[in-house]
Structure 1
Amino acid sequence: MRTVGVPHPRLPLPEAGQGDDLAAFQTWLEEAIPLLPHLGLEGMAWQDDTLVWELTLAPNLNDKGTGFGGSLNAQTTLIGWCWVTLWLRARQRQQDVVVAEASQRFLAPVRGDYRLECCPQDRHAAATLAERLDERGKGRITLLQRLYCGKRLCLEACGDYAVLPEA
């Protein structure tokens, strides 16, 4: 059980040149963020530079029987945090990541299980972040999140994530 004010132990970095085992990362994440096991995350995968989550609707229902905006908001924020954290880990960096700003636009009700995708806002964003980290030890990146129920786009979100200097 987590204790308020006590950081959760970090997950060891993967071996250089190796990506994270996403199932092991998800298990660690479920321990580190107690809300996560209640959000219906079935699995995560990389598709090029896009982190993709598969989610079930049942634990995220609102009173109308559709997706609860608060859950969807939490998921968009968290997938962005995971994108940056996993990106850093692949580069052998263990730095704290925080969301600095986020916005969502709800386009259609979520009426079934869904897919959440997260990628950089522009194709140069990751390279720019890498340069800033090398120069200053900290940086920011803007990520886009899109939620699809089948082929229907139901939610678009945007988050600005800050990578803090190493302690």
Structure 2
Amino acid sequence: MTVTSRQPGIPHPRLALPSTQAPEDLKAFQRWLNEAIPMVSQLGIQAMYQQDDGLEWQLALAPNLNDKGTGFGGALTAQATLLGWCWVTLWLRQQGLARDVVVAEASQRFLAPVTQDYRLRCQPSEVDGPQQLQKQLRERDKGRIQLTQQLYCGETLCLEASGNYAVLPQPPA
């Protein structure tokens, strides 16, 4: 896949919203993501799944190795942050909204080395997080949601991350 040349300060065109009758095409979303954020194509994302209230990636370790032959913390942190951004963006798209999302705060704890291909899962930190975000957007045209990301090698939890993501107000017409 050829990554288009991006220029600083110029937003990438948004992906068209899905039909209200059709589920999100995650393969098309991932292709758009690779173009919109050039580093994504280097992260080793093999597959993307939505299940229940979560979003999950299957990832290859090889492009994310550090000097010790295990997962590079900076790459793992970037993946966790980006997965949260994708969760919010896809949730907004399901609501029929094309809005800007930014990470406001993020933290992570490394619990075990990443020694093989792995999976990274993201979901709301609070069960009612999506409903609270929907209420904030309706009342204030902006909102925040706290998400939790967990990285597993097999059954071993290797990384826990948390992110607070902001949905920015709709720009004036």
Same fold (TM over 0.5): yes
Question: What is the match of residue 120 of structure 1?
Answer: 124
- TM-score, length of structure 1 as denominator length: 0.99
* TM-superposed deviation, 1:166: 0.9
CA shift digits 1:81-121 (9 cap, x unpaired)? 00000000000001100000000000000000000000000
- TM-score, length of structure 2 as denominator length: 0.95
* TM-superposed deviation, 1:136: 0.8
CA shift digits 1:13-59 (9 cap, x unpaired)? 00124331000000000000000010000010011011000000000
* CA–CA distance in structure 2, aligned partners of residues 37 and 148 of structure 1: 21
Question: What is the match of residue 86 of structure 1?
Answer: 90
* CA–CA distance in structure 2, aligned partners of residues 37 and 57 of structure 1: 14
Runs (4+) of structure 1 exceeding 4 A deviation are none
Q: Which amino acid aligns with 1:134?
A: R
* TM-superposed deviation, 1:164: 0.2
Where structure 1 has 5 or more consecutive residues not aligned to the other structure, the ranges are none
CA shift digits 1:50-78 (9 cap, x unpaired)? 10000000000000000000000000000
2:28 to 4, 10, 24: 24
CA shift digits 1:112-133 (9 cap, x unpaired)? 0000000000100000000111
**Aligned-residue CA RMSD (Å):** 0.6
Identity %: 62
Change (3 A) 1:45 1:130: same
Q: Which amino acid aligns with 1:161?
A: Y
Number of residue pairs the alignment of both structures matches: 167
Change (3 A) 1:125 1:20: same
The reply to whether residue 63 of structure 1 matches residue 96 of structure 2 is no
Alignment of 1:76-155 (within 5 A): 76-155=80-159
Q: Which amino acid aligns with 1:79?
A: L
Question: What is the match of residue 34 of structure 1?
Answer: 38
* CA–CA distance in structure 1, aligned partners of residues 163 and 60 of structure 2: 23
1:160 to 152, 157, 164: 164
* CA–CA distance in structure 1, aligned partners of residues 73 and 38 of structure 2: 19
* CA–CA distance in structure 2, aligned partners of residues 134 and 17 of structure 1: 23
